Structure 1
């Protein structure tokens, strides 16, 4: 091995194009989007490999098997973000709504009732202990 082989190897690597990161599993499929009136996305929900993902700032913030839970998290974000503003829009795919409605029906509730129950559970879980 020559004394210049490392320099040549480093130069070759520098000249080669960067290889993209290859993700394993199914591609990410957006199912819901929470957006401001100007079109800027605040949060989103996606489905990958049968798992629902909550996306904030382009990164996965939470994972769940429950479509209703991811919808409840998006509604919570909308309420927190819109405390002083108006006009946030939550658009959901029919697949997300159907999956969440199926979970609600399994608990003998309508979808709005089920989402309200999930929000109440979140409040109870995060309530300060006295």
Structure 2
């Protein structure tokens, strides 16, 4: 009896995708054009990459954009000028998420940043 070809075909397809490289959907560059951060999409997961290493994954395109915007803000506070370029795929996915939440993309990204601040700020001291 022969083995099913489905799993073998799946492995071949994954290997072919790896050989082609994962498409980059966003790049955050400094003033000299060096890439500081980026974003990829694979199997429905958006991955943020810093210094060539994956640091976070999310199914949310808008969340990924919010993380990149936060990284740009941190760099800006350190005096580093940045420029963010985003693919049409990432932009469309983030816009669709924002629209589903009843917001514009800009308002949705601001909402995500406010949520991050609330989550990361220390709780007030009780006296």
TM-score range, shorter chain: 0.7 to 0.9
> How much has 1:48 moved relative to structure 2?
1.0
Distance verdict in 2 for CA 1:47–1:37, change over 3 Å = same
Taking structure 2 as the reference length, the TM-score comes to 0.80
In terms of Rg, which structure is larger?
A: 1
> How much has 1:86 moved relative to structure 2?
5.1
Q: Which runs of 5+ in 2 are unaligned?
A: 1-13
Secondary structure of the corresponding residue to residue 116 of structure 1: helix
CA offset digits 1:40-69 (Å, max 9, x no partner): 111101111110000001111000000000
> How much has 1:87 moved relative to structure 2?
3.0
Q: Report the equivalent of 1:47.
A: 41
Q: Report the equivalent of 1:92.
A: 86
2:66 is the alignment partner of 1:72: yes
Contact (CA 8 Å) 2:31, 2:83: kept in 1 or not?
Answer: yes
Secondary structure of the corresponding residue to residue 90 of structure 1: strand
2:117 is the alignment partner of 1:123: yes
Count of residues in correspondence between the two structures: 107
Q: Report the equivalent of 2:9.
A: none
Q: Which runs of 4+ in 1 moved over 3 A?
A: 24-27
2:26 is the alignment partner of 1:32: yes
Which of the pair is proportionally richer in helix? 2
Taking structure 1 as the reference length, the TM-score comes to 0.78
